[in-house]
């Protein structure tokens, strides 16, 4: 079942956008979520539910119904959206009855970012999620690519693996025409709906198809992609949005191989992905050297994070066992670990990949930004940090310069960075306080999050990379 947008239902989506703007759906969320708003599409369910009690009834109903996926009384939905719009959104396939007196979304959630909106599936970890095997994906990686789109993105643009169309919608401007390509029919329906919802029907077209097959031999000025990239052991079921095949490169490799045939002269590509490798580099670096060996290409593999596979195996096995409920987490974890061992893989790298067609010369280079990749690493605070309260977050300053915004939990983490304790030791100390939050993955999950946090904080220059020689270390 997917969202159906026709010429007659399109006005309902335009009306919905007006309601969202009138009720400050995006601005309120930005204020309520603080720094987290910029990093992750998914608000903490319990925290946002609680905050809904403090805001006016109309936006509170919209957040409950459209963002959190709660069933709400029909009368409340009618008051917030208007009876006609409720009926129209039911016809499009976004809303349906939940019992006699309530309305809910058909497992959709409406994410907003910088005044642009996308319908996507409710995430498997929300208590309201009614189909855990989600088909329409958006995550922190989507935001990261959305925030790193090429600044002068003009001309013909191709967004491969478009999903909700988030990247295409973020990139849309009067000086470009964008084609999004997506294989999952449910995501195609959502992306087409999202294009209309944001008023970009004239500029963005969503095609249903398999990568470049959907565009024939057309060439583009810019190509974007956030493909599925997780390595999945043979015989294990995993959602298509993340399944990168046995080595994780099944889709990414085809995208990169197709760049020479689909970029115009001077054309550029920006991709985001993760990929396994050994301690030296992600394996994708070998593919890049092979594909671009003839010159005429500037290729930058920018590694921004890395994770020991020991933790990643546990986190991904836990999620998979929860989504499908077929195989136990321990059994799946063994499968992932065996696969990684066979591949000689030790780390999961997260990276940006920039490729540019150049008239002469060209080089393929790897830059490794991340230096904190193990729980043994000791994070050190940059000198002269100052915290100023925001709502509900903190701003971090150094020498009067704002470095960024952090939440309370991150602040507590930073307070324990004494220059001697490792990431592992700090996580173990904080774990009891957040045990409930990490209950699905125990200390592994906490370490996984802590490593991600450290990498973000070092990119913000709040932390100085550690050296793995902490006195109070624990891995
Ligand atoms: C990680 S999601 C990214 C979605 C979106 N670009 C974003 O950043 O939020 C990957 C998307 O690729 C789609 N996909 C997987 N294989 C594909 C293929 N061969 N051709 C086109 N899309 C594909 C999946 O259905 C999924 O929507």
Q: Is the CB of 157 inside a 6 Å radius of any atom of ligand 1?
A: no
Name residues whose C-beta falls within 8 Å of residue 399's C-beta, 6 or more positions apart in sequence. Answer: 384
Among residues of the chain, what percentage have pLDDT more than 90?
A: 64
What is the pLDDT at residue 439? 64
Q: Is the pLDDT of residue 26 over 60?
A: yes
> What residue owns the CA closest to ligand 1's atom 16?
183
Q: Is the CB of 180 inside a 6 Å radius of any atom of ligand 1?
A: no
Q: What DSSP designation does 89 have?
A: H
| Beta bridge pairs of residue 383 | none
Pocket perturbation via mutation, ligand 1, pick of 167, 182, 231, 350 by most ligand atoms within 8 A of CB: 182
Q: Is the pLDDT of residue 473 over 60?
A: no
Report CA(409)–ligand 1 centroid distance (Å).
Answer: 32
pLDDT in tens, 40-66: 999 999 989 999 999 999 999 999 999
Q: What is the mean pLDDT of the chain?
A: 90
pLDDT in tens, 334-364: 999 999 999 999 988 999 999 999 988 889 9
> What residue owns the CA closest to ligand 1's atom 14?
161
- Contact between residue 453 and residue 381 where contact means Cβ atoms under 8 Å apart: no
What is the pLDDT at residue 475? 39
Q: Is the CB of 138 inside a 6 Å radius of any atom of ligand 1?
A: yes
End-to-end CA distance of the chain: 45
Tell me phi and psi for residue 155, to 5 degrees: 85, -145
DSSP output for 306-373: EEEHHHHHHHHHHHHHHHH-SS-HHHHHHHHHHHHHHHT--EEEEEEEEEEE-SS--EEEEEE-----
> What residue owns the CA closest to ligand 1's atom 26?
241
Nearest-Å Rg of the Cα atoms of the chain is: 23
Give the ligand 1 atom nearest the CA of 142. Answer: 8
Q: Minimum mean pLDDT among 357-361, 449-453, 463-467: which range? A: 463-467
Q: Which domains does the chain have, with CATH numbers?
A: 10-121 (no CATH), 140-368 (3.40.50.150), 380-464 (1.10.10.1150)
> What residue owns the CA closest to ligand 1's atom 18?
210
pLDDT in tens, 105-123: 999 999 999 999 999 999 9
What is the pLDDT at residue 8? 79
Q: Is the CB of 190 inside a 6 Å radius of any atom of ligand 1?
A: no
Strands (E), 43-175: 72-73, 95-98, 102-105, 108-113, 116-121, 155-160
Q: Is the CB of 236 inside a 6 Å radius of any atom of ligand 1?
A: no
Give the ligand 1 atom nearest the CA of 224. Answer: 6
Q: Is the pLDDT of residue 20 over 50?
A: yes
Give the ligand 1 atom nearest the CA of 135. Answer: 25
CB neighbours of residue 343 within 10 Å: 17
Q: Is the pLDDT of residue 469 over 50?
A: no
DSSP alpha helix (H) spans, 166-304: 166-171, 185-197, 250-262, 284-291
What is the pLDDT at residue 438? 67
pLDDT in tens, 213-237: 999 999 999 999 999 999 999 999 9
> What residue owns the CA closest to ligand 1's atom 2?
241
pLDDT band at 158 (very low <50, low <70, confident <90, very high): very high
What is the pLDDT at residue 465? 63
């Amino acid at each position: 079942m997917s969202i159906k947008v026709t010429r007659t239902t399109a006005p309902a989506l335009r009306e919905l956008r007006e309601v969202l703007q009138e009720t400050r759906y995006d601005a309120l969320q930005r204020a309520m979520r603080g720094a987290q708003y910029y990093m992750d599409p998914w608000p903490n369910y319990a925290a946002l539910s609680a905050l809904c009690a403090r805001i006016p009834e109309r936006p509170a109903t919209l957040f409950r119904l459209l963002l959190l996926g709660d069933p709400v009384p029909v009368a409340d939905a009618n008051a917030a959206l208007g009876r006609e719009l409720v009926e129209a959104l039911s016809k499009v396939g976004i809303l349906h009855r939940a019992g006699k007196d309530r309305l809910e979304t058909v497992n959709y959630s409406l994410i907003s970012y910088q005044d642009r909106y996308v319908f996507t599936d409710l995430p498997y970890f929300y208590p309201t999620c009614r189909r855990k095997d989600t088909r329409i994906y958006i995550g922190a990686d989507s935001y990261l690519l959305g925030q790193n789109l090429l600044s002068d993105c003009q001309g013909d643009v191709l967004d491969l693996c478009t999903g909700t169309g988030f990247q295409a919608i973020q990139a849309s401007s009067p000086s470009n025409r964008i084609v999004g390509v997506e294989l999952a029919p449910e995501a195609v329906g959502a992306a087409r709906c999202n294009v209309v919802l944001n008023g970009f029907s004239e500029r963005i077209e969503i095609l249903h198809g398999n990568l470049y097959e959907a565009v024939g031999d057309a060439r583009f000025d810019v190509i974007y992609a956030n493909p599925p990239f997780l390595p999945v052991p043979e015989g294990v079921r995993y959602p298509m949005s993340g399944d990168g095949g046995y080595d994780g490169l099944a889709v990414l490799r085809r995208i990169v191989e197709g760049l020479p045939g689909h970029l115009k002269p001077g054309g550029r590509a920006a991709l985001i992905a993760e990929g396994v490798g050994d301690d030296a580099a992600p394996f994708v670096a070998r593919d890049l050297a092979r594909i671009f060996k003839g010159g005429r290409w500037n290729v930058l593999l920018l590694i921004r994070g890395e994770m020991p596979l020991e933790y990643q195996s546990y986190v991904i096995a836990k999620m998979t066992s929860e989504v499908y409920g077929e195989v136990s987490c321990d059994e799946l974890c063994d499968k992932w670990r065996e696969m990684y061992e066979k591949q000689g893989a030790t780390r999961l790298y997260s990276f940006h990949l920039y490729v540019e067609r150049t008239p002469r010369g060209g080089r393929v280079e790897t830059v490794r930004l991340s230096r904190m990749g193990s729980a043994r690493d000791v994070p050190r605070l940059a000198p002269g940090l100052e915290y100023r309260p925001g709502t509900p977050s903190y701003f971090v300053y150094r020498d009067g310069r704002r470095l960024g915004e952090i939440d309370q939990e991150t602040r507590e983490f930073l307070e324990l960075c004494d220059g001697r304790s490792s990431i592992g030791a700090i996580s173990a100390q904080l774990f009891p306080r957040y045990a409930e939050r990490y209950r699905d993955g125990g200390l592994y999950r906490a370490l996984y999050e802590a490593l991600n946090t450290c990498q973000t904080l070092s990119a913000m220059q709040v932390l100085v990379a550690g050296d793995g020689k902490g006195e109070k270390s624990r891995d």
